[in-house]
Amino acid sequence: MGKGITSRAEDYSKWYNELVERADLAEHSAVRGCMVIKPYGYAIWEKMQQQLDKMFKETGHSNAYFPLFVPKSLFEAEEKNAEGFAKECAVVTHYRLKNDEEKPGKLKVDEKARLEEELVVRPTSEAIIWNTYKGWIQSYRDLPILVNQWANVVRWEMRTRLFLRTAEFLWQEGHTAHATESEAIDETKKILDVYATFAEEFMGMPVVKGVKSENERFAGAIETYCIEALMQDGKALQAGTSHFLGQNFAKAFDVKFTAQDGKQDYVWASSWGVSTRLMGALIMTHSDDQGLVLPPKLAPFQVVMVPIYKGEEQRNTVVEHLSEIKKELESKGVSVKLDDRDTHKPGWKFAEYELKGVPLRIAMGMRDIEKGTVEVARRDTMEKKFYDKHDLPNKVTHLLENIQDNLYRKAVDFREEKTATANTYDEFKTLIKSGGFVHAHWDGTAETEDKIKEETKATIRCIPLDQKAEEGKCIYSGAPSKGKVIFAKAY
Amino acid sequence: MGKGITSRAEDYSKWYNELVERADLAEHSAVRGCMVIKPYGYAIWEKMQQQLDKMFKETGHSNAYFPLFVPKSLFEAEEKNAEGFAKECAVVTHYRLKNDEEKPGKLKVDEKARLEEELVVRPTSEAIIWNTYKGWIQSYRDLPILVNQWANVVRWEMRTRLFLRTAEFLWQEGHTAHATESEAIDETKKILDVYATFAEEFMGMPVVKGVKSENERFAGAIETYCIEALMQDGKALQAGTSHFLGQNFAKAFDVKFTAQDGKQDYVWASSWGVSTRLMGALIMTHSDDQGLVLPPKLAPFQVVMVPIYKGEEQRNTVVEHLSEIKKELESKGVSVKLDDRDTHKPGWKFAEYELKGVPLRIAMGMRDIEKGTVEVARRDTMEKKFYDKHDLPNKVTHLLENIQDNLYRKAVDFREEKTATANTYDEFKTLIKSGGFVHAHWDGTAETEDKIKEETKATIRCIPLDQKAEEGKCIYSGAPSKGKVIFAKAY
C-alpha cells in the first residue's frame, strides 16, 4: 500500500491519475495513448454494461456486431462525418510482416502486402453500419431497426488521460433506422432519457439534459442531444450523446424504403453512445482524498469482510462466523467479498478497500463474537457502528440504499452550489474562473461561442431541454437572446 | 422467405452458407474477410458468452481489457509466436487522413503522420499482456493471475467462411500466470474441462479432449490441449484450445518473481480461447435441410408463439390467451417470443422459425381455445402434438430438456458411427475419404504427419487424453508406436 494519494486540493489532476492507478482501475500501456483496464476497474465497467444492456433491451434494442475496419471509400461517403474524424484515424495499410533480413529475429512490414484500399480502424461505425443497412431495408416492414453494438473504437488523441481520453476506448453505439422523422427524433430522446436515468439512479451522478450548439455537434448529425455532469473540480463532463442524424447517412449510402403508401423515401436515423469515459465521470463525482468512493449499485462487491484474529485457531473461528453472515447477506442479494488472506494485516486491508471504494466494510474479531456484534464502516461518511449480528442483513441492505441516495444527494448539492447565472460578461468571467455551470444569455452564433472559448476556455455545454423562454441580451455581443444556455470549462 | 435452402446432401458447403445468411446469423461485409454478426446470430453468441463467463468466474477468473494494438517490437519478443502470426497481421502505419487535393471530397493517408513504430492489430494478446504482467508481478503474493478478456482479434485469412474463418473474429482469451509449472498445467487442463463441459452440456456437441501434435501446436506453447468435434459432413472442427506456455513468455518479457523461499524464478503461464467459430460448430452439429436447429440452452428464445386467426376480433382473443400462457412459461424460466405481427401469415412464420431453429413452436387458434388445447411442434424431430393448456408449463420445460438431451445423443451416435480404426494405410485412406475420426498408430514424427497430410488431406486432430497405451506400428512408416491418435480432415 505505501502512503496515501495526493489530495484533491493540492492537485486535482494528479489526485485523479494516482487514484486510477493505485485503486487498480487502469494503467497506461506500452501503446501510446491506449490503456489497460485492470480487473477491478473492468468489474465496474461490467456492472455499467450489464445495467445499460438491460435498459437497451427493455426498450426494444438488440445487439449485433459490425467490422472493426472501414474501407476508406466508405468512410468518405458522409463527408461531414469523415471530415470530423479524418485527423484522428488509425490506418491499416498492410496485411503481412516478414523477416527483416538485416536484423535476424526481427520483423518488418512486407511491402508486397500493401492493401489496395486502406482500412480505417473505426472511430465510430455509422459508415460501415449504414452501408450494411442498405441491404437490410427495402420496405417499411423492415423498419424500425433498433441495433446496438458493444465495441472498441480508436481515435488518435494527442493528449490522453486514463478513461477520459484514450486512443482506444470501449463503448456502446446504437444505430437505429426509422420510417419517419418524428420516430427517429423520439428514439433519440428516449435514449437520452435512458442515459440520464442510468447516470442518476446507478452512477448517482446528476446530469443536465440538453442539446449541443452547432460547434459541439457530432459530425454528420442534425441535432446532438447530451447529458452533462459537473465534476468536483468545477469542470463539466459530457457523459453521453444521442444524435438525430436525419437522412444524412441514408443519403450518403443510398438507403431508401418503400412506405405503406408505395412511395419511396430515404430512411431516418439516430445514433447514440456512452463509453469507458463514464468511469472517469464516476470517479470524479464521488471520490475523496482517501481514494475511490463507489455507489453500491456499481460496486464489484458491496461489502468487504475483514477478520481480526491472532493465530490459526482464532482465524478459523472468525472466518467461520463471517462465512455464515456472508451467506445470509448473499441470500438478500448483497455482493460480498471475504478477505481471509493471511498474507496481509487487517490495517493494510482496511486501507486497501478504502482506496478501492468498497461501500461497506465489516470487521469481526473474537470480542465481537462473544458480544454477538459486528463493526460496520461506511465508505462514504467513514462512520463506524456496531450492529447486532441478527439485525445485520436488514441493516446492510438499508445502509446500501442509504449510501446510494446519499452520494446522489451530495452530488446534487455540489452542483447546485456550483451553478450560477451571469448577467454581464465580467460576472461571467469571474464565475467561469471559479468553476461550475454558468447560465447566461447567448446570441446563438458560432462566432460568439468561439470568442468566449478563446477568452475564457469555457464552451457551451448545452442548451438545456428545460430552458426557460425569456428575452435577454447575449452577455458577449449584446445581441438579442431568447433563453440562457449553460457554459463551463469542460473535460 | 421464398424457397428453401440447398440440401446438405446436394452441397454441404452451400447449405452452410445459405443457412447462415437466411437464418439471419451473419453476412459478409464490405471489408474483405470480415463478417457482420446479425442480431439473431449475436443473440446466440451472447448466450454462449454469458455461460462461459459464468464458468470462468466460478473457477476464479476475472475479466480485464488490454490494447487492440501491439507495437512491432513487443510483438517480436517471443520469436516463435511472432513467426507463427507474422504472415497474417494487419498493420497500422499511419494515424491521420487528410484531404486529397486532386480529388475534392476524398481523403488520403497523410504521409506526415507515419508512426515511428508500426502497430500490429492483435492476432492474439500474449505479447501485450505479458509485457503488462511484468509490472504486476514481483512476488509469489502477486500470483496466480487469472485473467480473461473478451475481445476482437484480426488474422488476415486469404480464404474466409462466415464464423469458421474470418479476418476479424470475436473471442475470449484467458492469460494466467503461476508460481509453479504444475499449477500452470493444472490451470490449462481445468480450462479444457470447462470448454468440454460447455460444448457437451450447453452446445449439445460431444468433443474429444486431447493434445495437439507438434505440427498443430500454438506458436509459442509447450503443449496445446484441445477439444475436437465432428461435423455432419465428417470433417473435424477444433472447438477450443488451452495452451501450457511454460516460461516462454516470461522469458521473452523478463517476468520474474520472488518465491516464498526468496529465490527468483520466471513465471509459468497458460493461455486459452474459444471464438465465434463455435457458432459454426453449433450450426454444423445439429442443423438440417429445413435450417438451423438450436439446443434450448443457447436459443435466443426457446418457444415461439404463433396466433392463428381471422379478423381483428379473433386476433385479440387468441393473442390474449397466448399472452397469459407466455407469462406462465416465463415464470418457469422459459424464454418466449410471441409473434403477433399482422404483416405476416402464420405459414410464413412457421417456415421462418423453422429456419431459425427455435426449439418449440406453439400455435393457437379459436378452435384450440374452445377445446382448451394448444399445438406444440418440436423443431428437432418436427413432431406436433396437442396438449391441454393447463399441463403446458410442465410439458414445455420437460420437452426443452428432452430436446437438449436428444440433440446431444444424436450427435454422440453420429460420431460413434463415423469413428473407426485403421490398421493399414490402405484402410486409412478409404476411411478418411468417407469422412469421420480415424484412430491409427503413428510414429510420432512431424515428417510422417506431413506426408499423410499431403497424400490424404488428413491431419492429426489430437492425441486423446484417454489414449490407451498399446504397442503398435505406424500405419505410414511402420515404425513403432505406443498408442493410436485421431486423424481427420478438418475445418
Report which residue type is found at A320.
E
Give the separation between CA A270 and CA A254, rounded to whole angstroms: 16
Of the candidates B358, B219, B401, B295, the one whose C-alpha atom is nearest the C-alpha of residue B48 is B295
B37 vs A: CB within 8 A: yes
Q: What pLDDT is stored for residue A1 in this prediction?
A: 44
DSSP string, B249-275: HHHHTT-EEE-TTS-EEEPEEEEEEEE
CB burial readout B239-278, b (16+ within 10 A) else e: bbbbbbbbbbbbebbebebeeeeeeeebbbbbbbbbbbbb
Residue B1: which pLDDT band, with cuts at 50, 70 and 90?
very low
Nearest by CB: A67 against B36, B82, B99: B36
Residue A64 to residue B42, Cβ atoms within 8 A? yes
Tell me if A91 and B95 make a contact (CB, 8 A cut-off).
Answer: yes
The β-bridge partners of A168 are A154
Cβ burial, residue B34 (10 Å; 0-12/13-18/19+):
buried
Angstrom distance (rounded) from CA B409 to CA B401: 12
* Alpha-carbon distances of B9 from A427, B14, B420, B424, rounded to whole Å: 81, 10, 22, 29
pLDDT digits (tens, 9 = 90+) for B351-382: 999 999 999 999 999 999 999 999 999 999 99
Single pTM value for the model: 0.97
Any residues with CB less than 8 A from the CB of B479 and at least 6 apart, and which? B443, B445, B448, B473
Cell 503474493 found at: B141
Say whether B94 and A95 touch across the interface (CB within 8 A).
no
Per residue in B307-335, pLDDT (tens digit) is: 999 999 999 999 999 999 999 999 999 99
- Alpha-carbon gap: B153 to the closest alpha carbon of chain A (Å): 9
Q: Do A91 and B105 touch (CB under 8 A)?
A: no
pLDDT of A435 above 80: yes
Whether the Cβ atoms of residue A62 and residue A312 lie closer than 8 Å to each other: no
Contact A69 B34 (CB under 8 A): yes
CB A39 within 8 A of CB A25: no
**In a mutagenesis test of the A interface, which of B48, B73, B89 is the best target, namely the one with the most A β-carbons within 10 Å?**
B89
Torsion of CA A88, A449, A454, A241, to 10 degrees: -40
Alpha helices (H) along A70-180: 72-75, 79-85, 126-136
Residue in A68, A75, A83, A171 to test binding to B, most B beta-carbons within 10 Å: A68
Q: Do A90 and B90 touch (CB under 8 A)?
A: no
Q: Is the pLDDT of residue B425 over 70?
A: yes
B142 to A37, A227, A247, B63, B180: CA distances (angstroms): 18, 40, 54, 17, 13
Question: In this complex, is the C-beta atom of B107 within 8 Å of any C-beta atom belonging to chain A?
Answer: yes
Query: pLDDT band for position B158 (50/70/90)?
Result: confident
Residue A403 burial class via C-beta count within 10 angstroms: exposed 0-12, middle 13-18, buried 19 and up: buried
All cell numbers assigned to A413:
448539492
- Give A296's pLDDT tier (boundaries 50, 70, 90): very high
Position B392 scores a pLDDT of 95
Average pLDDT score over residue span B210-233: 97
pLDDT at A2 over 60: no
**What pLDDT is attached to residue A251?**
97
pLDDT tens digits for range B130-148: 999 999 999 999 999 999 9
Angle between the N-to-C axes of helices A446-456 and A425-434, in degrees from 0 to 180, rounded to the nearest 10: 50
What residues pair up with B438 in beta bridges, in sequence order? B420, B487
Helix (H) or strand (E) holding A324: helix A311-331
- Between chains, do A31 and B135 touch, taking CB under 8 Å as contact? no
Whether A438 and A485 have beta carbons less than 8 Å apart is answered as no
Chain B residues touching residue A36 (CB < 8 angstroms)? 64-67, 132
Report pLDDT for B416: 98
Task: With a cut of 90, say whether residue A3 has pLDDT above it.
Answer: no
User: Cβ–Cβ of B34/A68 closer than 8 Å?
Assistant: yes
Search chain B and give the residue with CA nearest A140: B343
C-beta of residue A322 within 8 angstroms of C-beta of residue A307:
yes
Q: Supply angle C-alpha B294, B297, B298, rounded to 5.
A: 55
- In eight-state DSSP terms, residue B199 is I
Q: Alpha-carbon distance A373 to A377, whole Å?
A: 13
Spell out the residues 6+ positions from residue A36 whose beta carbon is closer than 8 angstroms to its own. A26, A27, A28, A29, B64, B65, B66, B67, B132
Cross-chain residue pair A66–B106, CB shorter than 8 Å = no
* Contact residues, chain A, for B30 at CB < 8 Å: 67, 71, 74, 128, 131-132
Measured CA to CA, the distance from residue B53 to residue B284 in angstroms comes to: 24
Q: For chain B, what percentages of helix, strand and coil (3-state, to nearest 5) are there?
A: 40, 30, 30
pLDDT for the residue numbered B3: 65
| Per-residue confidence band for A297, with pLDDT thresholds at 50, 70 and 90 | very high
Closest approach of B218 to chain A, Cα-based (Å)? 19
Average pLDDT, chain B: 97
Report yes or no: A31 at the B interface, CB cutoff 8 Å: yes
Residue A128 has its nearest CB partner, among B30, B37, B109, at B30
- Other residues' Cβ atoms within 10 Å of the Cβ of residue B288: 17
What's residue A374's pLDDT? 95
Of B284, B198, B234, B274, residue with least CA distance to B461: B234
Q: What percent of chain B has pLDDT over 70?
A: 99
| Closest CA in chain A for residue B118 | A109
Mean pLDDT for chain A overall: 97
Average pLDDT for residues A368-390, to the nearest whole number?
Answer: 96
- Alpha carbon of B410: minimum distance to chain A alpha carbons (Å): 31
Question: A114 touching B, CB under 8 A?
Answer: no
A345 contacts chain B (CB < 8 A)? no
Q: What pLDDT score was predicted for residue A311?
A: 95
H-helix or E-strand containing B196? helix B181-197
In sequence order, the β-bridge partners of residue B236 are: B230, B490
| Alpha carbon A199 to its chain's center | 9
Confidence of residue B4 (pLDDT cuts 50, 70, 90): confident
Contact (CB, 8 A) for A439 and A485: yes
Question: Among partner residues B27, B82, B98, which is closest to A86 by beta-carbon distance?
Answer: B98
Q: B343 and chain A: CB distance < 8 Å anywhere?
A: yes
Q: Which residue of chain A has the CA closest to B46?
A: A63
Residue contact A97–B74, C-beta within 8 A: no
CATH code, A419-488: 3.30.110.30
Q: Which B positions 158-217 lie with beta carbon below 8 A of chain A? A: 168, 170
Residues ≥6 apart with Cβ < 8 Å to B433: B456
A95/B91 Cβ within 8 A? yes
**Is A87's CB within 8 Å of B96's CB?**
yes
CATH number of B12-65+124-286: 3.30.930.10
Contact B356, B372 (CB under 8 A): no
At A105, list the grid cell. Answer: 529475429
Task: Answer yes or no: do B107 and A76 touch at CB < 8 A.
Answer: yes
* Predicted pLDDT of residue B156: 95
Please state the domain extents for chain A: 12-286, 296-414, 419-488
In chain A, the residue whose alpha carbon lies closest to the alpha carbon of B92 is A92
Q: Is B347 exposed, middle or buried (0-12, 13-18, 19+ CB in 10 A)?
A: exposed
Supply the pLDDT for residue A173. Answer: 98
Flag if A168 and B67 touch (Cβ within 8 Å).
yes
Q: Which residues of B touch A75 (CB under 8 A)?
A: 97, 107
Share of chain A above pLDDT 90, in %: 98
| Separation in Å, CA of B61 to nearest CA in chain A | 9
Instruction: Select the CATH number that applies to the domain covering A296-414 from these four: 3.40.1170.10, 3.40.50.960, 3.40.50.800, 3.30.420.10.
Output: 3.40.50.800
Rounded-to-integer distance, Cα B109 and Cα B96, Å: 6
Copy the grid coordinates of residue A204.
448517482
Mean pLDDT of B268-292: 98
Beta carbons within 8 Å of A44's beta carbon, 6+ residues apart:
A25, A279, A282, A294, A298, A299, A300
Cβ of A2 under 8 Å from any chain B Cβ?
no
Which chain B residues contact residue A43 at CB under 8 A?
Answer: 62-63
- Quick one: angle between helices A392-417 and A311-331, nearest 10? 70
A:B CB pairs within 8 Å: 191
- Contact list in A for residue B65 (CB cut-off 8 A) is 36-37, 42, 45, 170
Q: Do B67 and A36 lie within an 8 Å CB cutoff?
A: yes
Judged against a pLDDT cut of 50, whether residue B401 lies above it is answered with yes
Q: Using one digit for the tens of pLDDT, what is the confidence trace for B177-203?
A: 999 999 999 999 999 999 999 999 999
pLDDT tens figures, A101-158: 999 889 999 999 999 999 999 999 999 999 999 999 999 999 999 999 999 999 998 8
pLDDT at B85 over 60: yes
Q: Chain B contacts of A144, Cβ < 8 Å?
A: none
- Residues of A whose CB is below 8 A from B151: 152
- The 10s digit of each residue's pLDDT in A67-95 is 999 999 999 999 999 999 999 999 999 99
Contact A213, A449 (CB under 8 A): yes
CATH architecture of A12-286: 2-Layer Sandwich (3.30)
Cβ atoms of A171 and A151 within 8 Å: the answer is yes
> In this complex, do A109 and B118 lie within 8 Å of one another by their Cβ atoms?
yes
